[in-house]
Structure 1
Amino acid sequence: MKTIKVVVIGGGLVGLSTAICISESLPQCEVTVVSESFSPNTTGDVAAGCLIPHTYPDTPFEQQKKWFQETFDHLFKIANSAEGADAGISLLTGWQVYKNPPEEAFPFWWDVVLGFRLMTPTEIAKFPCHKFGQTFTTLKCQSSLYLPWMEQRFKTNGGTVQTGKVESIWQLYGKYNIVVNCSGIGSRELIGDLSLYPVKGQVLEVHAPWIKHFIREGNGNTYIYPGITGTTLGGTRQKDDWTLSADAKISKEILDRCCDLEPSLRGVSIIREKVGLRPTRSAIRLEKEIFSKNGQQLPVVHNYGHGGSGFSVHIGTAKQATRMVEELIPLVGQFNVMSKL
């Protein structure tokens, strides 16, 4: 069987999960990940990693639900295995509360998570400024554990990682048969996708071991997610803000909002402030493209633009990207993509 050389651009959550999926599903592929940064210096390292989907306006709910279901099922198996602790994946129960009831009491993903139901009046009474709520159990990935665990799993499967910046897709021509673009916000510069934009997120990690349940406002801007090493308080959604520095005023606003939800956080010890740029589009870009130049052709699979929902759908999108790579393999022989030795 001919070896197919695949390169994945991007070593974050989406890139690593896609590389693992390809290497485990397509044994004829030799997979390399090339990235400027790996954990702990990726966008995914900033995220709380709680599986509660955001919506993509230009993607049908059926497709979004499929991605979420595949991701939830995959991570649930890991959480229930001997690897759960090393991977940093665990179950987390909590409340999603609203000052005004949403149009739909049951979101499209309600039957994917565990035990979804509407909160009782007694439960709502804990949040005097809110009138409606939902409670359920979902999964949480501790990014500081999950991302290194994925990288090690990829290497154990025979994968290779390289640190470096890909300035142009064409610099990979002659080295690889298929390129998988998981460069996140970098795709704006790498392939000129101006529909992609950053949404800055700032969060606080605090020491609050007494917090055992997540609390999230329905708009998703204010949330409290307990984790293994600390509790994440958030957050912000600052569109088109490229700055990676934390704003002390915003940190205070985040803490005040979270204390309104959970008064026991008053005076909490802050471990660190974290900032990341969510790579956002109206829809995740998941498609095949054949790059052509001077009679040369290079097949590419795009998988980027996950915004603030990366942890919720990353396995589902990795599986779809892997199917696209598989569809391209029979065409590889038609392309003059490998240098003559």
Structure 2
Amino acid sequence: MDGGPGSGPSDDVVVVGGGVIGLTTALVLAERGRRVRMWTREPAERTTSAVAGALWWPYRIEPESLVGDWALQSLAVYAGMAARPARTGVRMVDGVHGETRFDELGPWAARVPHLRVASAGEYPGTALWGRLPLIDMPVHLAWLRERLRAAGGVVEERTVTDLSAVDAPVVVNCTGLGARDLVPDPAVRPVRGQLVVVENPGITTWLTCVDHAAAASVYFFPQPGGLVLGGTAEEDDWSLTPDPAVAEAIVARCAALRPEIAGARVLEHRVGLRPARHAVRIEREALPGGRILVHHYGHGGAGVTVAWGCARQAAGLVGPPA
């Protein structure tokens, strides 16, 4: 029942977009019995998702009333994946959210296992300590793609310029920042994030100290390929070129909290554009001929954090196999 290398009604569902949202949504649909093709403009390793830090934690995503449930559903899935870190890229790692209190967070925070007030020895100010999923994104994206193929899904590198022209009964739009032009939806805007990866001087825990309203923040995540330092959140900045001055400032901010970072050898500079929106859009739209378009984009800085909860909701709008 496959439509061959091209498109066609027998394709059943075409998911457009190959980042963590597109992959997870395609996987949920395939494992629910739908015939799925995922069309991606570029390999997952070159998407914004591959640049992510990527610590499970809601960050720069709305609406707050829905984010908690999406995030908690995803947390449970990642906790299970952490049993096989080498394959899935997911590990449960201890760390501290500096300058953070429970009463500043939504009710979801009380349902996060192991999250508690940090001791003075763990952080010099107000903070929360947690054991949370830390995800090695290149490994994780590759694992999601293989799991999708194992479920019968097909991954193709294709560029879509018109969602309504995709010849399938159901189209799911997971194009992230691309939705700004493709839908078009001017509410989708870039929030630029720059990171520096250094040789890890022996740090085994993560730390964040983030003002969600500020353009600069401090965080570091110990990943297998090095210590990831951040960061920035520059709204409406489309530049993908690392700024040397910004990189220097990132290292300095992190070294102020852990002095051993100052002398660490720089391995890599990364830049990604978060697809921000006033609210995540998960919405069903009718297309001519009785076809369905499901929009699923606008996850800001928390695509990894909410991927499974949001994918399940989007898949619910698609419905079960005929």
Give the TM-score normalised by the residue count of structure 1.
0.86
Distance between the aligned counterparts of 1:164 and 1:4, measured in 2?
15
Give 1:54 deviation, angstroms: 1.8
Corresponding letter in the other structure for 1:184: G
Match of 1:236 in 2: 232
CA root-mean-square deviation:
2.0
- Structure 2 contact 102–109 (Cα < 8 Å) conserved: no
Distance between the aligned counterparts of 1:109 and 1:218, measured in 2?
19
- Structure 1 contact 113–137 (Cα < 8 Å) conserved: no
Distance between the aligned counterparts of 2:270 and 2:42, measured in 1?
16
Q: Point out the more displaced range, 264-273 or 103-112.
A: 103-112
Query: What is the aligned residue count?
Result: 311
Structure 1 segments (4+ residues) deviating >6 Å: 1-4
Which of 57, 61, 79 does residue 56 from structure 1 map onto? Answer: 61
Counting only pairs closer than 5 Å after superposition, residues 175-324 of structure 1 correspond to structure 2 as 176-219=168-211, 221-292=217-288, 296-324=289-317
Corresponding letter in the other structure for 1:186: G
- Structure 1 contact 72–112 (Cα < 8 Å) conserved: no
Which of 21, 24, 28 does residue 28 from structure 2 map onto? Answer: 21
Match of 1:97 in 2: 98
Give 1:121 deviation, angstroms: 2.6
Give 1:291 deviation, angstroms: 2.7
3-state SS, counterpart of residue 199 of structure 1? strand
Which of 40, 44, 47 does residue 35 from structure 1 map onto? Answer: 40
- Structure 2 contact 64–106 (Cα < 8 Å) conserved: no
Corresponding letter in the other structure for 2:202: W
Corresponding letter in the other structure for 2:14: V
Matched, 1:109 2:116: no
3-state SS, counterpart of residue 185 of structure 2? coil
3-state SS, counterpart of residue 128 of structure 2? strand
Distance between the aligned counterparts of 1:123 and 1:198, measured in 2?
34
**Runs (5+) with no aligned partner, structure 2:** 2-8
Distance between the aligned counterparts of 1:64 and 1:105, measured in 2?
15
Distance between the aligned counterparts of 1:85 and 1:288, measured in 2?
37
- Kindly, what percent of the aligned residue pairs are identical? 30
Give the TM-score normalised by the residue count of structure 2.
0.91
Which of 8, 31, 46 does residue 15 from structure 2 map onto? Answer: 8
Distance between the aligned counterparts of 1:138 and 1:103, measured in 2?
16
**Runs (5+) with no aligned partner, structure 1:** 126-130, 331-341
- Structure 2 contact 11–37 (Cα < 8 Å) conserved: no
Give 1:109 deviation, angstroms: 3.2
- Structure 1 contact 224–233 (Cα < 8 Å) conserved: yes
3-state SS, counterpart of residue 314 of structure 1? helix
